[in-house]
């Protein structure tokens, strides 16, 4: 017997839910399990996405740096859903071996900035109260200025909030997401909720 894709039932249909589902169909070709969960409050989902877009619009962080941040954050948080999604994105921006290493907590072949961002991600996930001024200085020494440090930290916090909702409510990674991921990325994601099985 297949386990449910999430702990909540699908939300009732509404124009906002339909729009969110259609957005997934356009971008991914299927409705994501996490979208079904968040669509119990599609207005909150839309607000979250808008604030996230605002944060990234003026950011000095590169797409690859953002992918390193999220992959490292997801792995440190044991979040399989985001690890598969952002591990795949990082593989597209670098290569699958690099992405898999970041998911395993190994930062070889990263730039100095990326290495510092990955380490900061793990530190913020594991114990934000243990950070020090010296830790922030290490980010500066790697070439990040204070606005980028704020943006990186906020981006990590946004991802933690997002994954906490998904994981707590049992949203399992979509099979299509796992199938799209490179083999080394899939093999590196040994944590979190298992991929949803295709319906038979």
| pLDDT attached to residue 196 | 78
Residue 180 per-residue DSSP state: H
Distance (Å, rounded) from C-alpha 116 to C-alpha 122? 10
| pLDDT attached to residue 3 | 54
Domains of the chain by residue range = 10-57, 60-188
132 contact partners, CB below 8 Å, separation of at least 6: none
Neighbour-count burial for 77-114, b at 16+ CB within 10 Å, e otherwise: bebbbbbbbbbbbbbebbebebbbbbbeeebeebeebb
**pTM value surpassing 0.85:** yes
| pLDDT attached to residue 1 | 39
Looking at 3.10.20.600, 3.40.50.800, 3.40.50.2300, 1.20.1290.10, the CATH number of the domain 60-188 comes to 1.20.1290.10
């Amino acid at each position: 017997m297949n386990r449910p894709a999430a702990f909540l039932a699908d939300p009732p249909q509404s124009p906002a839910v339909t729009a969110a589902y259609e957005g997934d169909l356009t971008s991914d070709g299927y409705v994501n399990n996490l979208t079904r969960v968040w669509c119990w409050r599609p207005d909150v989902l839309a607000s979250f996405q808008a604030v996230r877009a605002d944060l990234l619009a003026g950011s000095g962080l590169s797409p690859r740096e953002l992918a390193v941040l999220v992959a490292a954050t997801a792995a440190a948080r044991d979040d399989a859903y985001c690890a598969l999604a952002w591990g795949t994105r990082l593989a597209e921006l670098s290569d699958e071996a690099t992405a898999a290493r970041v998911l395993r907590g190994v930062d070889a072949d990263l730039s100095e900035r990326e290495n510092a961002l990955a380490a900061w991600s793990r530190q913020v996930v594991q114990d934000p109260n243990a950070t020090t001024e010296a830790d922030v200085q290490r980010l500066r020494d790697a070439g990040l200025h204070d606005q980028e440090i704020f943006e990186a930290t906020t981006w990590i916090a946004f991802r933690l909030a997002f994954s906490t909702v998904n994981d707590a409510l049992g949203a399992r990674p979509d099979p299509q997401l796992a199938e799209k991921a490179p083999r080394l990325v899939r093999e590196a994601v040994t944590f979190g909720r298992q991929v949803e099985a295709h319906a038979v």
